[in-house]
Structure formats: structure tokens, C-alpha cells
Amino acid sequence: MDRIPILRMGKFLLVTIQIDLYDRLATNLESDLVNMVNKTGARGVLIDISALSIVDSFMGRILGNIGTMSKIMDAEAVVVGMQPAVAITLIELGLELKGVHTALNVEKGMELLHEKISFDEDTLDEADYENNSE
């Protein structure tokens, strides 16, 4: 069965969608990603959709699901590289892409993930410190 490859890079998982997905491929990606987050303990998921010429309500829902599921699994998901025409069309269609972070490109997306995760770790460290000092 066809699958979209998921690359692991440190604490992050990277996915580049290079072809127009049919439904099964998209739902497989959703479940593969959640399984990978679980297996690897990844803290961030970055999905590059710069090659996608359209995002319809089905694909929009998949992206939203990935965001929400990642959050439940204690990871952050960011979608990067959306074409301007796709963004305009999504809003006119009535989709807001809730539940998932977005960034302009891969670089900005990585920065966003680093920020989110280092913030988490800082607050964790402080909590540990307070516990230890008691």
C-alpha cells in the first residue's frame, strides 16, 4: 500500500507531502503519524504542504485531526508552506484549520516548534527545581 514517508529528526517528525493525496493515503498518514509520535516520543510534527495544489474540506479535516491528536499525545503539529491560493480558497470554503499551528515555510515552522518545546521544558525545569528545594 502507498504511504507518505515520515522522517525522524531528533525530537521532531517531518512529513513532506509531494503528491495530491487520495483519501486512503491521507487517513493512513494521520494514523501513521500518531503511531510514530507514540513510538518515538516526538515532541513536534512538521508537515510541508507546499506541493499541494488544493486542500479541500477532507484534507483540511485530516490536518486539523493531526494537530489535535498530536496535542493529546503531548506534541505540537505545524503545517508549513501553504500556497496563497490554497489559503484564500480554504477561508472562502469556510475552513479555519483549527487545532494546528501554521508557519510560512519549513525554517519558520522549525523555529516555531523549537519555541513551543523549549518553553515547555523551561517550565518543567522550574517545577522540578521547586520540588527539589522542598
Residue numbers at the binding site for another protein (CB under 8 A): 20-24, 53-58, 60-61, 83-86, 88-89, 92-95
Name which of 44 and 60 has its Cβ closer to another protein: 60
Which of 95/117 has CB closer to another protein?
95
Least Å distance, CB 29 to another protein, is 15
Residue 52 beta carbon to another protein: minimum distance, rounded to whole angstroms = 10
Shortest distance in whole angstroms from residue 86 CB to another protein: 6
What is the nearest approach in angstroms of another protein to the Cβ of residue 92? 5
Burial 58-80 (b: 16+ CB within 10 A, else e): ebbbbbbbbbebbeebebbbbbb
Q: Could you write out the DSSP letters of every residue in 106-124?
A: HHHHHHHHHHHHHHHHHHH
Nearer to another protein, 91 or 124 (CB): 91
Q: What is the largest CA-CA distance in the chain?
A: 56
Measure the CA angle with vertex 85, ends 64 and 44; round to 5°: 35
